[in-house]
Structure 1
Amino acid sequence: MWRIRVAREDDETPQAEDEALEPVAEDHLAGRFGRPGPPLDRRNPFMIGLLGGLGLAVAYGIFSGLRNAAGILVLIFIALFLAIGLNPAIVRLRRWGVPRGFAVAIVALTVVALLTGGIVALIPPLVQQTTQLVENVPEYIQSLQRNQTINELVQRYDIVNRVSSALNAGTVGNAVGGVVGVGRVLAGTVFNMLTVLVLTIYFMASFDRIRETGYSLVPASRRVRVRLLTDEILTKVGAYMVGALSIAVLAGASTWLLAVILGLAYPFALAVVVAITDLIPQIGATLGAVIVSLVGFASSLSDGIVCAVFFILYQQIENYLIYPNVMRRSVKVSDVAAVVAALLGVALFGVIGALVAIPMVAAIQLIMREVVVPSQEAR
């Protein structure tokens, strides 16, 4: 009996030790701070409301950030678009053996020279005409005073007293505020132009690095195809820029020749105005034609009629002969697609949308032809 009891005690001792060690092993497996509890119930109404509120707050924060930075983002987009358009010139210089740094410097200096030439051509006429207007104001007033009809109207409607009462402190303050506002607009325009110029130079200098960085973010299995499609799109954007600049230069040269033949004042300034406005699709050429025609009518009636007839004929030739042929060879976009894209671009994004509309249509056509249509045919 004693041996049996001893055996039973020997049998119970290991079991007791195992039972005592089980909580220690569980704590060791669960970690230092105990076993983790069950996961949170994502279908809990409180969790759904909390996550929804956080999502709305993040979305509103992103929207507010984009809205506040919209002006800077537009400048960055314009600079990047210009860098893409000027990159073919850099590539051509590099093929001629020019290092990339020197090629970027040559293109940048050429752009700066063109901008400086345009400003130098436009500022002197404006300053001179404004100075002549200020100097001739006393003569205009005296001629009005000598006119008997004008004097009768002034006395009948008591214009002098009304003008004097209108020129109070508030009116003068509003006028000064308007002048200050115009100065701010001019300063902001100059700042935006310098910002776009500097960003364009930086983008041109690091264009290859930016492009390769973008390609590295694409999965390796699709990188070759994405590279080929993107390079083709960038080539079309550059071709569009070259074609648009060529058409604008041709319009400016034609205007300069017309102004020289008619003897209009400041022919180079008029040519610069027409070339710049011709870069704006749909309405740019008409705007430049109206400006030159007004200058022609200010010179003489015959000069104004000649300018109006010339621009009517030239716009027909440009719209139906020059522009379609240049864009068909460079970007390969149909006339209907180009017109519709320009109209939609102006309606959605203004002048910027009109400038990038045709390259965007070319890119969409390429993606549709090479990606969407083969995918649909494979189904």
Structure 2
Amino acid sequence: MIEKPETADDERLSPPAGTSPAAVSPPGGPADSPPPGGPADASAHVMSRADALDAFGETKFGEPGRPLRRNPFLIGFLGGLGLALAYAVFLGLSNASSVLVLVFIALFLAVGLHPAVVRLQRWRVPRGLAVALVVLFVVGLIVGGITALVPPIVTQVGGFVEQLPSYVEALQRSRTLRELIQDYDLVEKVQSMVSTENASRVFGGVFGGARLFFGTVFNVLTVLILTIYFLASFERMKRAGYLLVPASRRARVQLIGDEILAKVGAYLVGALAIALLCGLSTFVFALAVGLAYPFALAIVVAICDLIPQIGATLGAIVVSLVGFATSLPIGIACVIFFLLYQQVENYLIYPKVMRRSVEVSDVAAIVAALLGVSLFGVIGALVAIPAVAAVQIIIREVLIPRQATR
């Protein structure tokens, strides 16, 4: 057998006798040795392009070219893809806007009800039981309001149906009505209105009303279920959100975020207190003037008063209509009462309660509510004051200290 002679390369790669392999510098001298703090294996060899060609053979489809440069065409293409993606996200958000509004309302309610859960936990109530008690209280309020409203509506509708034949007979005995029917051909007009096409429209309207009713019930149940889930996992959601913040700023962001969440809860408590006061005032007034179903009317006014800016007006309209249906003097008294009460609530009660609970000035509360209604409707009015409180906290704790150091 012919032995292969050792070459210079083999002599360079093989260590001398009595020398450990680690003591030999790798090929290329000290310049090729790994830097301090590098891999533990000092003799690790980085595969070069020539070594790769020797190991895997020549490339099948030719040698790769240079990396792409940032030419205008590539930049424009990537920009177009970005615009298309942004438009797709916009379409997705617009199509899911109704669902996102429900999620936002549920999250807002969960933030507002969370202080009650925390208070029960301080009384050594387990968190699960505390969430259940708060949810049962809210459900009890909703069921109580419905129970107070449904019987009067059913009674009034039943009385109208029972008196309907007498109304028809009274109209038929009226000589003036018969003359009007003959002069204006009201019978033919009524018959033309009662046609197949108009009947289908009426049924379509009825079905549309039923769809609106069941849709409203579905939305209320959805918000209630989401609120329960958000309350049950509120602490986990909050911790997950804080983990997204850099660790160097996490403690400060957590303090500021907890303060903002506390302001939202205080705002909701203040709004509930104002609504309860409005409902109690309406109940006392209804008893004083002799309105029917004063408790039901008070619940309607209290629920409507939770809607900022327009809620109190809606409740006043409902009670005033009931007052005019009772008698003209009572209706006028209802209008005067609500005009005076709304002035007192808007300029005395509401600003003072919000200043104490949320620590927002009177002018800021009124301006924020008006801007919220004009920009985002009812949802904007609902979150306007908590948003102002959050902005004030950020300005006081972040912006002002940063400006002071410059």
Taking structure 2 as the reference length, the TM-score comes to 0.84
The yes-or-no answer on 1:228 pairing with 2:255 is: yes
Q: 2:69 maps to which residue?
A: 41
Amino acid at match of 1:39: P
Rounded Cα–Cα distance in structure 1 between residues aligned with 2:381 and 2:152: 29
The yes-or-no answer on 1:376 pairing with 2:406 is: no
Q: 1:20 maps to which residue?
A: none
Amino acid at match of 2:70: R
Q: 2:186 maps to which residue?
A: 159
Q: Is the 8 A contact 2:117 2:130 kept in 1?
A: yes
Q: Deviations over 1:7-41 (max 9, x none)?
A: xxxxxx989xxxxxxxx974324684756421112
Rounded Cα–Cα distance in structure 2 between residues aligned with 1:44 and 1:344: 43
The yes-or-no answer on 1:133 pairing with 2:156 is: no
The yes-or-no answer on 1:312 pairing with 2:339 is: yes
TM-aligned CA deviation for residue 317 of structure 1: 2.3
TM-aligned CA deviation for residue 162 of structure 1: 1.4
1:275-290 aligned within 5 A: 275-290=302-317
Out of 67, 76, 81, the residue aligned to residue 103 of structure 2 is 76
TM-aligned CA deviation for residue 95 of structure 1: 0.9
Q: Secondary structure at the match of 1:116?
A: helix
Q: 2:113 maps to which residue?
A: 86
Amino acid at match of 1:140: Y
Where does structure 1 differ by over 3 angstroms across 4 or more consecutive aligned residues? 24-27, 29-36
5+ residue gaps, structure 1, are 1-12, 16-23
The yes-or-no answer on 1:143 pairing with 2:170 is: yes
> For residues 220 and 14 of structure 1, do their structure 2 counterparts lie closer, same or farther at Cα, with a shift above 3 Å needed?
closer
Rounded Cα–Cα distance in structure 2 between residues aligned with 1:201 and 1:25: 61
The yes-or-no answer on 1:118 pairing with 2:145 is: yes
1:229-244 aligned within 5 A: 229-244=256-271
Rounded Cα–Cα distance in structure 1 between residues aligned with 2:167 and 2:396: 66
Q: Secondary structure at the match of 2:360?
A: coil
Q: Which moved more, 1:247-256 or 1:172-181?
A: 247-256
The yes-or-no answer on 1:95 pairing with 2:85 is: no
Amino acid at match of 2:69: D
5+ residue gaps, structure 2, are 1-6, 10-46
The yes-or-no answer on 1:323 pairing with 2:346 is: no
Amino acid at match of 2:78: L
Q: Which moved more, 1:322-331 or 1:79-88?
A: 322-331
The yes-or-no answer on 1:340 pairing with 2:367 is: yes
Larger relative helix fraction: 1
Q: 1:9 maps to which residue?
A: none
1:357-376 aligned within 5 A: 357-376=384-403
Rounded Cα–Cα distance in structure 1 between residues aligned with 2:225 and 2:346: 34
Out of 296, 299, 308, the residue aligned to residue 272 of structure 1 is 299
RMSD (CA atoms): 2.0
Rounded Cα–Cα distance in structure 2 between residues aligned with 1:297 and 1:209: 53
The yes-or-no answer on 1:171 pairing with 2:198 is: yes
Out of 202, 222, 225, the residue aligned to residue 195 of structure 1 is 222
TM-aligned CA deviation for residue 314 of structure 1: 2.0
Q: 1:3 maps to which residue?
A: none
Q: Which moved more, 1:301-310 or 1:277-286?
A: 301-310
Q: Secondary structure at the match of 1:135?
A: helix
Q: Secondary structure at the match of 1:77?
A: helix
Amino acid at match of 1:316: Q
TM-aligned CA deviation for residue 374 of structure 1: 2.1
Q: Secondary structure at the match of 1:220?
A: coil
Rounded Cα–Cα distance in structure 1 between residues aligned with 2:345 and 2:374: 23
Q: Deviations over 1:144-197 (max 9, x none)?
A: 221111111110111101110121111000000000000001111000000000
TM-aligned CA deviation for residue 44 of structure 1: 4.5
Rounded Cα–Cα distance in structure 2 between residues aligned with 1:40 and 1:133: 81
Q: Is the 8 A contact 2:242 2:250 kept in 1?
A: yes
Rounded Cα–Cα distance in structure 2 between residues aligned with 1:265 and 1:350: 33
Q: Which moved more, 1:145-154 or 1:355-364?
A: 145-154
The yes-or-no answer on 1:109 pairing with 2:132 is: no
Aligned residues: 359
TM-aligned CA deviation for residue 307 of structure 1: 2.1
Taking structure 1 as the reference length, the TM-score comes to 0.90
Identical amino acids, percent of aligned pairs: 63
Rounded Cα–Cα distance in structure 1 between residues aligned with 2:215 and 2:309: 27
TM-aligned CA deviation for residue 337 of structure 1: 1.1
Rounded Cα–Cα distance in structure 2 between residues aligned with 1:266 and 1:144: 30
Q: Deviations over 1:200-222 (max 9, x none)?
A: 01111111111011011100000
Rounded Cα–Cα distance in structure 2 between residues aligned with 1:191 and 1:271: 25
Q: Secondary structure at the match of 1:114?
A: helix
Q: 1:27 maps to which residue?
A: 50
Q: 1:51 maps to which residue?
A: 78
The yes-or-no answer on 1:63 pairing with 2:90 is: yes
Out of 355, 376, 383, the residue aligned to residue 356 of structure 1 is 383
Q: Secondary structure at the match of 1:38?
A: coil
Rounded Cα–Cα distance in structure 2 between residues aligned with 1:304 and 1:343: 29
